[in-house]
Structure 1
Amino acid sequence: MAQDIETNTDGTAAATGKGLAGWRHGAVWTYLIMLVASAAALFVSLMLAAETLQLARHPGEKLGCDVNGIISCTDVAQSWQAEFIKFAGLSFPNAFFGIAAESVFVTVAVIGLAKVVVPRWFAICTWLGGLAALLYAYWLFTQSMFVIRALCPWCLGLMFATTIQFMALSHATVAVQGLPRRSQGLRKYYRLNFDLMVDFVWVIALVVLIIVVEGPALFA
């Protein structure tokens, strides 16, 4: 790979230290994966918001995604963790923040697909926002599994979608945006496709954790 190339044929930066060459490291592939994951997360957030409104209208009813004592959207939605952000005496459901955040990530993915050159600060803030969304989703996941002792199928879908979203965003930040600028280790990590193995193990580890902790109830 020539070190004096400024851009690839798809318009992304190449080996000058800004980005990586190859179709899998281009804007189209990385941001397309991010767009699909973000759109899925947005859809799930909308469904969670609809269920929140359903509980508000009919407090005594159970939600349609309740299967048993463990797989229960109602138990999760009625917990304090589902509305722990409060302001001026009002509580705000997590799903509403999910709609706002995922709308932003969908927009960022579309901008990336359009190969629009964004400022360095914008790319950094986007990645930090993706990290915050991931940590938020994992906090809710651990609260559901170990504190509330109930799993919401929509919440699990959101957690997995946010995970894929963060993987794609991190890939695009390094391979397309060329950040951080002096991290040859990260570039080698993606150039040699180590990320594929790590991402696969990451997702499998989450699935195994769910099965180990809640397996008897899931397959009862």
Structure 2
Amino acid sequence: MPDKDAGTPRVFLYRHGQTEWSQNGKYTGKTELPLLPEGRKQVLASGKLIVGHGKLIDPTKLAHVFISPRERAKETFDLAFADDDKETLEKEGKVTETEKIAEWGYGDYEGMLTHEIKALRKERGLDKEKGWDIWRDGCEGGESAQEVTDRLDSLIEDIHSFQAANMHGEKACDIVLVAHGHSLRAFVKRWLKYPMDFSLQMMLEPGGVGVLSYAHHNVNEPAVMVGIGFPYE
């Protein structure tokens, strides 16, 4: 049976490797933290398996790589891609650092744990009817759910500009996003056209990669690729 979705463009979600705060569960927005040795190993392992010529993420088939400006994301890109591939992509203008895919701006909650945030909000007289939900309530002094929605929607428009005319593989135009746990999961919600407060439980391990695409070769039918077929000769 032929693959009815063969050639459809994909969007790869590449989460940065483990940092001290991500390991401890602390909310890390703009704070610059390096990858832990374990985090570097996570990225090197996934990169070795799936990034490279003839592999799942083939640099020669990429239209663009969007990277969060945070150092942990840039380090992840640097580790995952071979030097010559990075040089070629950058020379061709296919690499962009952008706040559009930066981590959620946590504001007053930067560096805190979830239970600490809930306790702080209780002290401030918040959440009397419902417990804090970042997808609905956002962050004091940081970003609201609508602000995150707006910048992610803008990035999705950028991605569509590369992919909309190539739904049947007319031109290789895969996209890679190198970013963070919250922003990438938020991106999935907006990709699927769900409101940010839509209940959709997702997991993305440090150094892990997720994949999005389109159903029926239709840019108006965004989809999650639940199972991935790997290249073969």
**What is the TM-score when the length of structure 2 is the normalising length?**
0.32
Say which one has the larger Rg: 1
Structure with higher strand content: 2
Structure with higher helix content: 1
**What is the TM-score when the length of structure 1 is the normalising length?**
0.33
